[in-house]
Structure 1
Amino acid sequence: MTQLNFLDLVKRLEAHQVAGEWPQMLLEISNLVIAMINDPRARGLVFGSLEMDRFCLAAGEISARQLGQSPSTAYNDHLAVHVTTEVYDGQGGHTLALKDVIRARPDLTHVVLVTNLHDRTLPLDRFNRDMAQPVQVLAAPALSLPDKLRWLQLQLAALKPGLLTLFHHHYDVAAVAAAQPGVAREMAYFHHADHDMALGVYLPHALHVDCTQLSHHKCRHHLGVSNQVYWPLVSPDQGGRQGHEFMRDGQLLTCAHGSSNKFLAPGRYAYFDVLLRRLTEVGGAHVHIGQLPPEELQNFRERLDAAGVEASRFQHQPPVPSLWHWLRDSPIDLCISSFPVQGAKGLVETQGAGLPVLIQQSSLSTLHSTRDLVYQEALWWETPDDFIRALKAVTPELLAEQAYLSRRYYERWHHPRELSYALNNPRRTAPCPPVRDTPCDTLALYLR
């Protein structure tokens, strides 16, 4: 990534603002954020920018003025509008979290506005497949970035929602620029992109919603975020596993799940290197749930063959419609949390289904992977040697106890009633789990 000069960037944006060149402002800010999230060294170090959020709002204000818009004085308080960049089916934690927020307010009519910045074919017709009450989902047509913003502004001006929530991707300048003061009676920014640079972190007139205790702690104590609340990640309770026989025939069956970026991101220890040790040094088999690039799978299978590992001991399962259902009904004994980057929403479903967890305590950053997101007694590792020792030490009795503790943690912190409480009480927040004071090697993080 070419080194950027912050002051030069600010001067360019200020010049665009003075000239009323709001489309250029949007494009430059978007390019900046995309560059940051594609720079491995920024992950876990750069989270947001007060200046960039200010420029987004300034661009949106110029556009709104040209459209003849002004803040509303009357709102449809029965209506909640949720702005997102894309929606997914069967995976994508923030889409699942959006659905959970909608479920927590059954008293409201809900509309989802999708900016669809990449003009992809999205599964809009499947959004309501698991929703008790139908939700209207509207996607912006194929337009330029400035016109995406204007489409969104016109939609919000017509709807005048009582509640507006922002579930956009890190770089969605249209979503942030449209979130002008007064477009809704109440506004909430859902900070799901919490380990990367994201626009909207410092919106001054919105509730800043953190969905993990890690992000809540970081934003409060290190980033100086105001108007902060905590809405826990939850998942509808689909029942814990019953009658599972751990390590049947003395063999350990492990799994890992998540999107490929969580396993292929730069980290101190590579997923496939550690997994090779797991299959060569510990008996049993491993199932990977989720998409992986075909070339990565082929390369790993060749490494297994070279190491003399029977091919059937590694199984690849494409994404499943319901991770919770799949895990609950599976023969899996132990879930290995994704690394180098953990998946917070997937961990909620894993614990809800009542599976034991082995999680990495990253020495780079707790926002990569940390024990804080699972039950206190969970198995954990820091180095590959720790990983192998933990696997070799498990017994059926230990796993059964771990399964009970895992399900209990879900019931205490991640049951839907916790999110319902947060959205429906006057303070709009819920109790937040504690965090450990874990060291972070910032030099290792930067030079990884």
Structure 2
Amino acid sequence: MTLWSEPSIASLLAAAERALATGDVNRALRQVHDFVEDVITEPLCTASVFASKRLDAFCQRVGQHSLRHGQVTPADQWPARGARPLVVYVLTRLQKSGGHSRVVEDFIHAQPDKDHLILATGLAGTSDPAFLERVASGGGNVRFIAAPRADLKSRLSWLQGALLGAGAEHVYLFNHHQDSVAAAAIVPSMGLDASFYHHADHHLCLGVHLAHLRHIDPHPMGYHNCRDRLGVGNVHIPLTFEDRGARDEGRPFASGGVITTATAARSNKIEIPYYTSYLDVIPRVLKATGGRHLHIGRLSPWALRRLRAGMRREGVPEDRLIYKAWLPSIWQALQSHDVDVYLASFPYGGAITLIEAMGAGVPVVMHRHMYSPVLSCLELAYPEAFSWRDPDALIAHLEELTPARLAAEGRLARLRYERFHRPDILEACLEGGAILPGEVPAPVATGLCEDDEWGCWALNRISIRHVVARGAYRTARALRAWLS
């Protein structure tokens, strides 16, 4: 006899199947959405649980049911297709801080001879108006339409109607992890030429196993993980970024004999339970370098207090931390602040920011995640980049850096950007409507932690404090989506 019964994926799917059998599409989609939301807000699942064939297959059954029994928006209610080819992007929401939003913008700029339609389900809140203005400002060939504020069944019917009525040359699926509406929308019988863009890459994400969609991975870590671990037939289209100029060769590194460091990441990449904390490491970095640290990305008030308290303990003046909640260009900020070394964020690495740093000609230092190659991002950096797991090793490395070595690594960083991440590389991949795979860097051995180290870390997560923090985090996410 047990005191309680543990839920299983089988019981969840059985309940969702019963809802679908009775025609309650909204409940069926909501159950999948809520389950994925719970998984992605559990740190122990991060970069351990990536995909579910069963959930994807169920979403497809819901989509087929909706297509057969739903009331999709008639095609004649959608604008007639123009003379130019149309590309459609299905996403959950556009936000100025979201990497996938930037990729959509890049895809649009790489195909100027086509019309572009962005369809948002809104399951994670409304899209950012300022970002939409920026996307649309590139020309008159971009249109954005958001799903009506309604239940999930109605949003699915709306989305399927939009896709059938649009007459697109190609459809790209850019959904958030938990967006069951997007994962259900494109079924094989619709006959759409479509791709799944796997940007939600280090959590459980719906859509990974939709075999009728071309699976695109935007970085080598995800490509190798999906192909080798998940058994997904995929292609790699590298992340690209507008070239905003290399570092001035005449500008010296380590000016004044001190090193300026920088990191760009929001709280969702830094304020995560982990064996070592960015908030504790940066004060030690500042003490060791004698320079400044530029942080770009919004942190919580609690995190800023902890960061500054650590600086006081280390005897570091408060003005040596330059905190910017948001800047329009990380690339230009690194150059204007004379940054000598970019410290990749941890425990979650950031791909786009790393590419900006290398494009700007700034040496990078990587973190080897204790259990996840995907979160380490090592394959994105130039092979000679230093990587660390023990904070003492990071401090020792920074203390040993010389202007000559920094200059050499700055050139390596820029060469890495030019080889893999220039905008014309994306244009070549998308040329003529074809999707041509780009060059894939080889996997890098990360040297994962020992099992006992992982076990010790995991035990520290199983606590009342962790349960309370996780509950507060889930509540905050739900409230944010509801308010927006």
Distance 1:133 1:321, change over 3 A: farther
Cα pair 1:71 1:181 within 8 Å, conserved: no
Of the three residues 166, 178, 182, the one matched with 1:171 is 178
Note the C-alpha offset of 1:106. 2.1
Q: 2:59: which partner in 1?
A: 56
Cα pair 1:268 1:340 within 8 Å, conserved: no
Q: 1:95: which partner in 2?
A: 101
Q: Secondary structure at the match of 1:401?
A: helix
Q: Distance in 2 between matches of 1:158 and 1:238?
A: 39
Q: Which 5+ residue runs of structure 2 have no aligned equivalent?
A: 459-484
Note the C-alpha offset of 1:204. 1.5
Note the C-alpha offset of 1:442. 7.8
Q: 1:14: which partner in 2?
A: 17
Cα pair 1:128 1:134 within 8 Å, conserved: no
The amino acid across from 2:122 in the alignment is N
Q: Distance in 2 between matches of 1:285 and 1:6?
A: 49
Q: 2:419: which partner in 1?
A: 412
Q: 1:240-389 counterparts in 2 under 5 A?
A: 240-242=246-248, 243-389=250-396
Cα pair 1:44 1:195 within 8 Å, conserved: yes
Q: Secondary structure at the match of 2:20?
A: helix
Count matched residues. Answer: 444
Q: 2:34: which partner in 1?
A: 31
Q: Distance in 1 between matches of 2:299 and 2:320?
A: 17
Note the C-alpha offset of 1:371. 2.2
Of the three residues 38, 42, 45, the one matched with 1:42 is 45
The amino acid across from 1:7 in the alignment is A
Of the three residues 100, 118, 122, the one matched with 1:116 is 122
Q: Distance in 2 between matches of 1:334 and 1:397?
A: 13
Note the C-alpha offset of 1:63. 1.4
Note the C-alpha offset of 1:419. 1.6
1:432 aligns with 2:440: yes
The amino acid across from 1:94 in the alignment is H
Note the C-alpha offset of 1:327. 2.1
Say which structure is richer in helix: 2
Question: How large is the Cα RMSD of the aligned pairs?
Answer: 2.4
Q: Distance in 2 between matches of 1:398 and 1:129?
A: 43
Q: Which 5+ residue runs of structure 1 have no aligned equivalent?
A: none
Q: 2:479: which partner in 1?
A: none
Q: 2:211: which partner in 1?
A: 204
Q: Secondary structure at the match of 2:16?
A: helix
Q: Distance in 2 between matches of 1:86 and 1:7?
A: 30
Note the C-alpha offset of 1:133. 5.6
The amino acid across from 2:87 in the alignment is A
Q: Secondary structure at the match of 1:217?
A: helix
Cα pair 2:29 2:181 within 8 Å, conserved: yes
CA-to-aligned-CA distance 1:183-209 (integer Å, 9 cap, x gap) = 463101000111100000001210000
The amino acid across from 1:435 in the alignment is P
Q: Distance in 2 between matches of 1:378 and 1:131?
A: 36
Q: 1:188: which partner in 2?
A: 195
Note the C-alpha offset of 1:428. 2.8
Cα pair 1:75 1:162 within 8 Å, conserved: no
Distance 1:127 1:154, change over 3 A: farther
Q: Distance in 2 between matches of 1:385 and 1:441?
A: 16
Cα pair 1:161 1:183 within 8 Å, conserved: no
Cα pair 1:241 1:329 within 8 Å, conserved: no
The amino acid across from 1:195 in the alignment is H
Q: Secondary structure at the match of 1:199?
A: coil
Q: Secondary structure at the match of 2:156?
A: helix
Q: Secondary structure at the match of 2:89?
A: strand
TM-score (norm 2): 0.86
Q: Distance in 2 between matches of 1:45 and 1:96?
A: 26
Cα pair 1:231 1:423 within 8 Å, conserved: no
Q: 2:168: which partner in 1?
A: 161
CA-to-aligned-CA distance 1:285-332 (integer Å, 9 cap, x gap) = 111111011221123213322332111111201211122222233311
